[in-house]
Structure 1
Amino acid sequence: MYQVRRSEDRGNANHGWLQSQHSFSFGYYRDPEHTGFGPLLVINEDRVQPGRGFGTHGHRDMEIISYVLDGALEHKDSMGTGSVLRYGDVQRMSAGTGVTHSEFNHSKAESLHFLQIWIEPNVKGIAPGYEEKHFTPESKQGRLRLIASPDGRGDSVVIHQDALVFASILNAGDEIAHALEEGRTAYVHVIRGDLNANGIPLSTGDALKISGETAVTLSQAENAEILLFDLPF
């Protein structure tokens, strides 16, 4: 079974310094048809003006992944972690029993573009944790590069959920398939470009929910970059 989520149908928030598109219900945007997909609860595509950002705020019992698309994301948290992330960097923060952090556009001249992803953990009350890793474009070219997993396999970041997150960059002639085990679902989010997922045309910002299928096949790509979530049903 397939359900297409078109980019223009996402929720929109314009705060001046921040323009955000919400794939699922978030903040003041409420859509009963899109409250999450399994443990995947949030995919926000955020564009932040130079020198602006999210002041210190708190989270609890959530796996938070940041995937930088363009610009520089400055992160500071109550665990004493501070870093600046750029394209190819993936950050995972496990909020656990509670953590506060801030996220700002590190640049005073250029905009910041990144994805903020929330995944509900399968365990609560753990100690907060932080991890970041860099994945080169070459490691994602024409293949699915695992960037997050429950056990850190393939040098991915560790998330506290039975979920796998892959990134891929695809161009004309590339075709890749990912098998889905029984009882698993998939969510394909197109970061940029165009491609077909199981024969369904998708473009920048579009997404596809997949359930009751045995595989995800990505083909007919044109300058495409995607995230693929392999999730428990």
Structure 2
Amino acid sequence: MSQNIFHEATTRGHASHGWLDSFHTFSFAGYHNPERVHFGALRVLNDDTVSGGEGFGRHPHDNMEIISIVLDGALEHKDSMGNTQAMPAGEVQVMSAGTGVAHSEYNHNKDRKVKFLQIWIFPDERNVTPRYDQKMFDAAERKNQLQTLVSPVHNDDNGLKIHQNAWIYRTDLDAGKAIDLTLKRPESGLYAFLINGNVKINGQEMRTRDGFGITDTDTIHIEALGASDLLLLEVPVR
């Protein structure tokens, strides 16, 4: 029997710093909820909006897989590995922090906000050599189907690679459409985050920015009650 945990959008942690408006699905910075520290290997899921020209100054990370998904505007990334990139909406970035890396993230534009999701996943191997990658994903290729954004380093597919047995999918569903997802590993659970819309997953209705974690089942049934943009994260939970 599946074990489920539902996180309504309005129950997330929230921080407003003027230039930054951030919602935290899991405990982060000044927000701590002992019942919402992580979902298996999924440690952070932040929903960030950054004002024009503003951003996060240079700061360090280690032993974490960090994924950024740009939803609107453009995000500028600089790191100690020598990467300097601007990422428009639809682009995804991965960074394996490994033995240690420093980076900054800024709104690339002065005249509009940037909105992006930042995800942290615990790695399955510590102290790897830091690495960085990014890729634009065609929105047409997730229309009423699953599009793989992120997958393990040993997988031969189109996903950006991380050091964990985790997969991140995105799908853009028309109202009335339904799809099924079979988890790849018995150790996995699924965390669903609804970017926009209205869906029902294994009987649980979700609305914009709701989150839903599912464990102890290998089959996920998704029904779109309205046009919906959905992120699905398969991660180890045991």
| TM-score range relative to shorter protein | over 0.9
Q: Which residue of 1 aligns with 2:89?
A: 87
Q: 1:133 aligns with which of 125, 135, 141?
A: 135
Q: Which residue of 2 aligns with 1:212?
A: 216
> How far apart are residue 184 of structure 1 and its match?
2.0
SS at match of 1:155: coil
Matched positions, count: 233
Q: Which residue of 2 aligns with 1:119?
A: 121
CA distances 1:122-176 after superposition (whole Å, capped 9, x unpaired):
1111111001111111111101111111134321100000111111111113211
CA distances 1:8-28 after superposition (whole Å, capped 9, x unpaired):
000000000000000000001
Structure 2, unpaired ranges of 5+: none
Contact 2:175-2:228 at 8 Å conserved across structures: no
Q: Which residue of 2 aligns with 1:46?
A: 48
Q: 1:167 aligns with which of 158, 167, 170?
A: 170
Q: Read off the aligned partner of 2:106 and give its amino acid letter.
A: F
After TM superposition, the score normalised by the length of structure 2 is 0.95
After TM superposition, the score normalised by the length of structure 1 is 0.97
> How far apart are residue 220 of structure 1 and its match?
2.6
Most deviating of 152-161 and 82-91:
152-161
Q: 1:104 aligns with which of 106, 110, 117?
A: 106
Most deviating of 123-132 and 152-161:
152-161
Q: Which residue of 2 aligns with 1:179?
A: 182
Q: 1:156 aligns with which of 135, 142, 159?
A: 159
Q: Which consecutive aligned stretches of 4+ in structure 1 deviate over 4 angstroms post-superposition?
A: none
Q: In 2, distance between residues paired with 1:12 and 1:5?
A: 14
Contact 1:146-1:164 at 8 Å conserved across structures: yes
SS at match of 1:74: strand
Check 1:82–1:156 CA distance in 2 against 1; reply closer, same or farther (3 A cut).
same
User: How much identity, in percent, do the aligned residues show?
Assistant: 41
Q: In 1, distance between residues paired with 2:155 and 2:110?
A: 35
Alignment RMSD (CA, Å):
1.0
Q: 1:189 aligns with which of 162, 170, 193?
A: 193
Q: In 2, distance between residues paired with 1:4 and 1:49?
A: 30
1:12-91 matches, cutoff 5 A:
12-91=14-93
